[in-house]
Structure 1
Amino acid sequence: MNELTANLKTRCVGRYLVDMPEGMYVSGYAKIQGVDIETKAMSGDAYQREIEKREAELKATRSALGYQFLYQDGEAWGKGTRYFVHLGNPADPSDAARVIEAYKWDHNYQIRLTIEASDYTHSVFKDEPSIKQMTVKNNVPEKTRLVFGLLEKVRGRADDEIPTEPGLCFYGGFLPAKAGSEEEVSTQYVLNDRKDIRFNIESTPDLRDSTTLLQHADSPEARAALKAMDAKVIRKGTVELAGMKAEEWLFEGLKPGDGRGDSFSLRANEITSSPSSPFLSMDLTTGGQVQIQDQYVKLDRASLTTGEAVALWDAVSRTLRPRPNGY
């Protein structure tokens, strides 16, 4: 356990900071103003090959109903960028559906933005009463400008880079922006040599729940679930973190696949979430089963004992704090 907690390194998730063990596999995504953002580490040459491959795929795709599939493609607002507007699903029964996807390469990451849109201007369904009543029959230009604007600002980011300006951190990227609504981040950290040890951190200013974690933990539904899992509550209560209060609930029990393991949860700003204090959740799971070469393998025991998992949880969870100048 000492080797895991001796060299914690600061990471940025959303508008928060957390100290994580070194040598972890990281993944995740962000959604901002309805636009999905995904990143993938790669070289500039690999990025060019990926774009050429994607262009060829889209140009070769045909609608199952004979509709036009690829509508627009070209460069966005910046050299080396690329965007496509297409039908999305080749089997889509509507010719008005659109998917806007745009790409750039920055700091050794491919950054991909996507959003759904619609265009009924020349649709075969344009004369239907419900379509005629629509105030906006074509939102492709508006959403394309939104995607281009975000693509222009977003930049690649190494996992250990901690920005000093207001903005949103997510896996492989950073969007400079003052705190606002319509943003969501999810990041997963998995120990490379013990793949059942998994942290999941999520944050959004747009979630405001009616109950807290501890209220849920004391509900009849939660007690019934714990009984079905043959679970033992290890600890639950309030937690004082730097600049905020949180609640935690730790238990050990049966996992899917009949293995046993730990499930630890922490929540902050559940019923008071806002752009200046976004909802924050962190979960640690151990044991159960792990995925190896597309197959799930049951673990009779977790890679950490419950005592070791608690020690890891305490070392990491107590470092959660708002990022200075993050808002």
Structure 2
Amino acid sequence: MSTQPMDRAGFRGFLRTLQQRYEAQRLVATDEKFPFLSQVWPTAEGLIFNISESPATPTRARRNLEARWWDGGVAFCAEIKAFDGTYPELQDDSFYRRQGSDVPAKLEELRSVISRLRGRSEDEIPTEPGDCFPHGFFRGGPMRDVDVVANFHLQGTPDVYLFFKQTTSVWEDETMLQRSGSIMKWMVFAGMRTLRKGERVIHGQPYEEWLVREPADVTSARVPGHGLRLHGNETSHDPARPSIELYLYNGHYIPSPPKSLEEQAKTPFLKRATLSEAQVVALWDAITPTLRLRPGAF
């Protein structure tokens, strides 16, 4: 799913153009015999397209349900993969023919997600339970098997970033410090060294932290750096108390989509990590005390 701020009139014009483009496309791999778009379903402020997985897909059976809608000044796009083995040109003994179609089930799942999403202005802090993401809000109380992940980059640096994750899909039976024996074996093998570790309480909530010095063989920028981590609620097994992870990396290239060769050539070759050890620990000690729980949110 992705979001983009857009006014209603601009979105409607974009949606008309997109539908016309999809209607005009044909599958390249089938000598332009079959349409790229097979079905369209309306939503409150948009459309859901049942399109082929790609214009060059070798079979119509592999589908992509793409929802485009508008809410609160934000244009949304959400996609889910599906298959449909009911097309008459498919062989009777084909895999997809035998499987039938999961399009109705995937459509229901997609509509369920859409019903919980709404646009959100940059400075809005919702009062209802749910999860914020750029330009949007996912409404609802705690659920199992949900991960919320965010990366925060230190502006102007190629190798300093925070990774935050809250999850109700994975819990441990032991906390990070209780697993320290096995963790230390791996650290020694990798040449890592502990700077600081122990229990912490932040705004009344218990956490465990482990601050590590990392050799060049471990960091993605191939310079000596650091990995600082904070864990909370690791063993709660309660969707109302998600497991929390916060990491601060120094000397690791900021996560990004796969780069072209030209983009890779422009990536700076680091001779050392941007922050010194004292700086990265000071930054960590300034950020971690700001973590706080709110009713129904983190």
Could you tell me how far 1:307 is from its partner in structure 2? 1.6
CA contact (8 A) 1:259 1:289 kept: no
8 Å contact kept, 2:90–2:97: no
User: Comparing 176-185 with 296-305, which one deviates more in the overlay?
Assistant: 296-305
2:131 maps to 1:168: yes
After TM superposition, the structure 1 = structure 2 runs for residues 234-253 of structure 1, keeping only pairs within 5 Å, are: 234-242=195-203, 244-253=205-214
1:287 aligns with 2:258: no
User: Which residue number corresponds to residue 290 of structure 2?
Assistant: 319
How many pairs were matched up? 283
Structure 2 partner of 1:307:
278
Query: Among 167, 178, 184, which residue is 1:204 paired with?
Result: 167
Mapping for residues 194-233 of structure 1, pairs under 5 Å: 194-209=157-172, 212-214=175-177, 215=179, 218-225=183-190, 227=191, 231-233=192-194
Q: Gapped runs of 5+ residues in structure 1?
A: 1-36
- The CA deviation string for residues 95-129 of structure 1, in whole angstroms up to 9 with x for no partner, is 22111111223344322211111222225446328
Q: CA RMSD in A?
A: 3.1
1:6-155 → structure 2 map (5 Å cutoff): 37-44=1-8, 47-48=11-12, 50-52=14-16, 54-55=18-19, 57-66=21-30, 67-73=34-40, 75-76=42-43, 78-79=44-45, 81-122=46-87, 124-125=89-90, 127-128=92-93, 134=99, 137-155=100-118
Q: Answer yes or no: is the 8 Å Cα contact 1:259–1:298 preserved in 2.
A: no
Distance 1:285 1:106 in 2: 36
Instruction: Choose 286-295 or 63-72, whichever is displaced more.
Output: 286-295
Q: Residue 297 of structure 1 aligns to a residue in which SS?
A: coil
Partners of 1:155 and 1:123 lie apart in 2 by 39
* Whole-angstrom distance in 2 between the partners of 1:233 and 1:50: 53
Q: What is the CA deviation profile of residues 280-310 of structure 1, one whole-angstrom value per residue up to 9, with x for unaligned ones?
A: 2111112344689933212333333222221
* Structure 2 gap segments, 5+ residues each: none
**1:185 match:** 148
Per-residue deviation at 1:133?
6.0
Cα distance in structure 1, aligned partners of 2:204 and 2:223: 37
**TM-score for the superposition, normalised by structure 1:** 0.73
Report if the CA contact (8 A) 1:289-1:298 is conserved: no
| Correspondent of 2:242 among 263, 268, 278 | 278
- Aligned pair in 2 of structure 1 residues 153, 258: CA closer, same or farther (>3 Å)? closer
Check conservation: 1:268, 1:281, Cα contact below 8 A.
yes
Residue identity opposite 1:145 in structure 2? E
In the aligned structure 2, how far is the partner of 1:60 from the partner of 1:209? Answer: 51
Q: Distance in 2 between matches of 1:260 and 1:65?
A: 49
Given that 1:258 and 1:298 are in contact with CA atoms closer than 8 Å, whether structure 2 keeps it comes out as no
Residues of 2 paired with 1:322 and 1:128: CA distance?
A: 55
Equivalent residue, structure 2, for 1:30: none
- Counterparts of 1:123 and 1:203, CA distance in 2: 45
Name the CA distance, whole Å, in 2 between partners of 1:53 and 1:132. Answer: 33
Moved more, 296-305 or 55-64: 55-64
Q: Contact (CA 8 Å) 2:160, 2:253: kept in 1 or not? A: no
Give the counterpart letter for 1:310 in structure 2: V
Encode CA deviations 1:8-66: one digit per residue, 9 max, x unaligned: xxxxxxxxxxxxxxxxxxxxxxxxxxxxx322344556545654554455345443431
Deviation at 1:144, TM superposition (A): 1.8
Q: Secondary structure at the match of 2:268?
A: strand
Partners of 1:46 and 1:259 in 2: CA distance: 47
Contact 1:201 1:281 in 2 (8 A): yes
Where 1:75 maps in the other structure, the secondary structure is strand
Q: Which has the higher strand share?
A: 1
**What is the distance in 2 between the residues matched to 1:246 and 1:184?**
19
Q: 1:240 to 1:224 in 2, by over 3 A?
A: same
